[in-house]
């Protein structure tokens, strides 16, 4: 058996390093960019882009990234592992946002594409198309013009040199090295999750529609009504005319395209591998299971090793498994052997929802569904908090009145003592304490007290106690996403699903909507106050799909010259400093407004994701949260 080395591939990563300087990718439209507009009927337009370095000094620096792997492959005897942070071989990395486009890697495979003399490494990204890493050549990016076609979930090379690409919402595509097409019209909008098979026998798993089997020019569909334990497909593996389809309720076995039995009933089967006489099933909650494949047997046996495997892959005939603890190799009777150990993780997750600094200088990081980390930047040590209340974090705000760190969550407002080494919950505020809703989306402070935004209206905490306000009392819409306030007055601006409400002393003074103002969208997601020393203050207002506009103290709405007028601004993803106003968008990256020049800039290169979700600033450094980690940059280096 051929041994697989973990040494850095001189033929690929080193060659790519020479070609691209491994710092910051950059698209030069005048150099190395080929526009492919295919005239053939049914073809899909895409660009072939050669990634080039923009600078020998990276603009953004990752902050304590958790280097987790989710997929792997081998090329020329070398192993490559990939995940949200990029592609690694040995100790050498191609980093997402620096050496690679700003999108997580979700699948790896190797294949000889049509027209290529040698096999190449292929990487699927979540939102930035397909990456082709040919030995000795710069990285190429296949970027469809349609955004949905860029979000790839699965890859299946075919013997002909064509490549099947499953997508999250655009169905199944075929790339033949020259053109990009739909596989079949009836696959066009399927949410593909897994692919398996060969040129004449193709299996496509979906998120909600079960599995489709294409054979002899015809497609058969299978779901819960005719053979699958569940309509959600996690993985597919085939061998000698038998196919196995993993679902959250067990594994369906198919023989010659027909369902025969369900294996491991009740198992949340996530990834599959075949042994000589058994099926290995990696689950999300029950470890590694082995099921004998003898006739009429579906008995489950737990592995005698405490393994938490997330993905299997084969390399040069050897079975490997990616686990939470590292990379494992199957060694016959010896079982699974750990050959690499996962690097120690500082932060608990990459999907950042909120950032802010406590008075002691520690960075508080809230996650969409994984609680909270409190990070000491000097020691790189983080304390993690996660419980029934600290789970889905929406906002983190220092409380100037109680001297606490206030964490707005989907299940209450939690007040922390920021001076404790280990974050300590001082108080939890819920509906039973006078809130109009348990779900808190934002927190703001005025001269009269604290105001909470919720999907049911506003709650004011004043010396007289909690009081709530909703549409019956004049609020433009009950679902409030964002607040902006003046701590020296009782003035507050509330952004809602239906427009803007301007309030004084907890009463609505004015409502602004599409119908009575210059707003381009009613859905308001973020607001920042912009003080003017010689004039009335204004407010920069972020919207869902309408970019950013300016609102003055009289309620007059003014479009901002040079601003992205279609950007989706993420909830509360805006920050003002003395030099800039920053806005985080869903797909357009970082938007930067330079106050002195009144000029807008858009930045995507160097970010780990184009989905920018949060900001914090300290000592001239800007910290940027995304759904794929945190980066920081000196503010002075920005436009």
Give the count of beta carbons closer than 10 Å to the beta carbon of residue 254: 23
Spatial CA neighbour of 165 closest among 39, 320, 13, 44: 44
Helix (H, G, I), strand (E, B) or coil at 108: strand
Task: Reply yes or no on whether the pLDDT at 16 is more than 90.
Answer: no
Cα separations (Å) of 143 from 95, 121, 167?
Answer: 18, 17, 13
Q: What sign has the CA pseudo-torsion 469, 475, 480, 485?
A: negative
Task: Indicate the average pLDDT of the chain.
Answer: 89
Spatial CA neighbour of 608 closest among 50, 26, 61: 61
Spatial CA neighbour of 77 closest among 114, 117, 121, 124: 121
Structural contact between residues 286 and 308, judged by C-beta atoms closer than 8 angstroms = no
The set of residues, in sequence order, having a beta carbon less than 8 Å from that of 276 and lying 6+ positions away, is none
Task: Reply yes or no on whether the pLDDT at 303 is more than 60.
Answer: no
Spatial CA neighbour of 72 closest among 110, 102, 128, 17: 110
- The reported pLDDT for the residue numbered 341 is 80
Euclidean distance between CA atoms 301 and 173, whole angstroms: 38
The set of residues, in sequence order, having a beta carbon less than 8 Å from that of 149 and lying 6+ positions away, is 44, 46, 129, 167, 170, 173, 180
Structural contact between residues 362 and 376, judged by C-beta atoms closer than 8 angstroms = yes
How many residues are given for the chain? 639
The set of residues, in sequence order, having a beta carbon less than 8 Å from that of 251 and lying 6+ positions away, is 229, 244, 245, 262, 263, 264, 267, 269, 272, 279, 281, 291
Euclidean distance between CA atoms 441 and 526, whole angstroms: 11
Euclidean distance between CA atoms 93 and 112, whole angstroms: 23
Cα separations (Å) of 537 from 405, 459, 485, 572?
Answer: 27, 25, 11, 19
Cα angle 365, 609, 353 (rounded to 5 degrees) comes to 25
Q: Are strands 538-543 and 336-341 parallel, antiparallel or unpaired?
A: unpaired
State the greatest distance between any 2 C-alpha atoms of the chain, in Å, as a whole number.
84
pLDDT digits (tens, 9 = 90+) for 66-78: 778 999 999 988 9
The set of residues, in sequence order, having a beta carbon less than 8 Å from that of 226 and lying 6+ positions away, is 259
Buried b (16+ CB within 10 A) or exposed e, 162-185: bbbbbbbebbbbbbeeebbbbbbe
Euclidean distance between CA atoms 492 and 472, whole angstroms: 19
Annotate 144-184 with DSSP letters as a single string.
Answer: ESSHHHHBEEEEEE-TTS-EEEEESSS-EEEE-SS-EEES-
Euclidean distance between CA atoms 384 and 244, whole angstroms: 39
Q: Span 583-604, mean pLDDT? A: 95
Spatial CA neighbour of 195 closest among 249, 286, 122, 303: 122
Q: Span 89-102, mean pLDDT? A: 88
Q: Locate 186 and state its tokens.
A: 């009836």
- The reported pLDDT for the residue numbered 537 is 78
Give the count of beta carbons closer than 10 Å to the beta carbon of residue 217: 7
Structural contact between residues 69 and 206, judged by C-beta atoms closer than 8 angstroms = no
Q: φ, ψ for residue 17 (rounded to 5)?
A: -60, -45
Euclidean distance between CA atoms 431 and 435, whole angstroms: 4
Cα separations (Å) of 196 from 163, 177, 592?
Answer: 12, 20, 44
Q: What sign has the CA pseudo-torsion 410, 411, 417, 423?
A: negative
Instruction: List beta partners, residue 569.
Output: 585
pLDDT digits (tens, 9 = 90+) for 139-167: 999 999 999 999 999 999 999 999 999 99
- The reported pLDDT for the residue numbered 585 is 98
Q: Are strands 599-603 and 629-634 parallel, antiparallel or unpaired?
A: unpaired
Euclidean distance between CA atoms 408 and 394, whole angstroms: 5
Cα angle 398, 400, 406 (rounded to 5 degrees) comes to 35
Confidence label for 329 from pLDDT (cuts 50, 70 and 90): very high
Enumerate domains of the chain plus CATH numbers.
Answer: 1-55+68-189 (no CATH), 198-343 (2.130.10.10), 345-426 (2.40.10)
pLDDT digits (tens, 9 = 90+) for 481-525: 999 998 888 999 999 999 999 999 999 999 999 999 989 999 999
- The reported pLDDT for the residue numbered 394 is 98
Euclidean distance between CA atoms 124 and 142, whole angstroms: 10
Spatial CA neighbour of 365 closest among 343, 344, 385: 385
Task: Reply yes or no on whether the pLDDT at 24 is more than 80.
Answer: no
Rg (CA), the chain: 26
pLDDT digits (tens, 9 = 90+) for 38-86: 334 479 999 999 997 545 446 899 998 777 899 999 998 899 999 999 9
Spatial CA neighbour of 451 closest among 401, 385, 379, 381: 401
Confidence label for 105 from pLDDT (cuts 50, 70 and 90): very high
- Report which listed range, 206-215, 274-283, 553-562, is most confident: 206-215
């Amino acid at each position: 058996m051929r041994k697989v080395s973990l040494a850095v591939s001189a033929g690929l990563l080193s060659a790519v390093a020479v070609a691209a300087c491994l710092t910051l990718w950059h698209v030069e439209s005048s150099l190395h960019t080929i526009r492919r507009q295919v005239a053939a009927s049914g073809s899909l337009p895409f660009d072939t882009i050669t990634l080039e370095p923009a600078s020998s000094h990276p603009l953004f620096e990752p902050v304590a990234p958790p280097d987790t792997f989710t997929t792997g492959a081998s090329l020329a005897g070398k192993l490559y592992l990939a995940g949200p942070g990029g592609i690694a071989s040995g100790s050498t990395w191609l980093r997402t946002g620096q050496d690679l486009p700003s999108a997580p890697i979700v699948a790896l495979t190797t294949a000889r594409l049509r027209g290529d003399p040698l096999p190449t490494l292929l990487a699927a990204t979540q939102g930035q198309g397909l990456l082709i890493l040919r030995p000795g050549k710069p990285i190429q990016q296949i970027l469809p013009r349609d955004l949905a076609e860029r979000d790839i979930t699965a890859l299946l090379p075919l013997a002909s040199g064509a490549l099947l690409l499953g997508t999250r919402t655009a169905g199944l595509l075929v790339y033949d090295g020259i053109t990009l097409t739909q596989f079949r019209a009836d696959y066009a909008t399927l949410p593909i999750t897994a692919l398996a098979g060969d040129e004449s026998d193709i299996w496509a798993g979906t998120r909600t529609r079960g599995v489709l089997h294409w054979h002899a020019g015809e497609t058969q569909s299978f779901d819960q009504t005719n053979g699958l334990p569940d309509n959600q497909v996690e993985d597919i593996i085939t061998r000698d005319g038998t196919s196995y389809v993993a679902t959250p309720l067990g594994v369906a076995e198919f023989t010659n395209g027909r369902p025969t039995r369900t294996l491991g009933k009740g198992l949340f089967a996530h990834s599959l591998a075949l042994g000589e006489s058994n099926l290995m099933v990696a689950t999300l909650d029950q470890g590694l299971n082995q099921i004998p494949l003898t006739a009429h047997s579906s008995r489950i046996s737990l592995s005698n090793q405490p393994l938490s495997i997330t993905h299997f892959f084969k390399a040069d005939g050897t079975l490997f498994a990616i686990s939470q603890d590292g990379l494992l190799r199957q060694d016959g009777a010896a079982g699974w052997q750990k050959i690499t150990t996962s690097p120690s993780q500082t932060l608990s997750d990459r999907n950042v929802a909120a950032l802010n600094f406590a008075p002691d200088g520690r960075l508080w990081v809230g996650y969409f569904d994984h609680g909270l980390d409190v990070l000491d930047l000097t020691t790189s040590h983080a304390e993690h908090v996660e419980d029934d209340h600290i789970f889905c974090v929406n906002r983190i705000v220092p409380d100037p009145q109680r001297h606490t760190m206030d964490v707005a969550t989907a299940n209450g407002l939690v007040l922390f003592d920021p001076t404790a080494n280990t974050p300590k919950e001082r108080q939890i505020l819920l509906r039973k304490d006078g809130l109009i809703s348990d779900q808190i989306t934002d927190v703001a402070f005025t001269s009269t007290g604290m105001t909470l935004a919720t999907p049911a209206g506003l709650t004011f905490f004043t010396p007289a106690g909690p009081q709530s306000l909703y549409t019956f009392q004049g609020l433009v819409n009950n679902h409030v996403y964002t607040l902006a306030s003046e701590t020296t007055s009782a003035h507050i601006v509330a952004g809602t699903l239906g427009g803007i409400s301007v309030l004084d002393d907890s009463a609505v003074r004015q409502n602004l909507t599409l119908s009575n103002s210059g707003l381009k969208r009613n859905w308001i997601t973020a607001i920042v106050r912009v003080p003017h020393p010689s004039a009335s203050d204004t407010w920069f207002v972020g919207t869902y799909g309408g970019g950013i506009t300016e609102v003055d103290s009289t309620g007059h709405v003014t479009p901002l010259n040079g601003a992205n007028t279609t950007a989706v601004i993420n909830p509360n993803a805006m920050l003002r400093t003395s030099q800039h106003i920053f806005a985080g968008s869903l797909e357009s990256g970082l938007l930067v407004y330079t106050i002195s020049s009144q000029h807008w800039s858009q930045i995507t290169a160097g970010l780990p994701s184009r989905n920018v979700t949060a900001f914090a600033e300290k000592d001239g450094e800007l910290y940027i949260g995304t759904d794929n980690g945190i980066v920081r940059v000196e503010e002075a280096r920005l436009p």
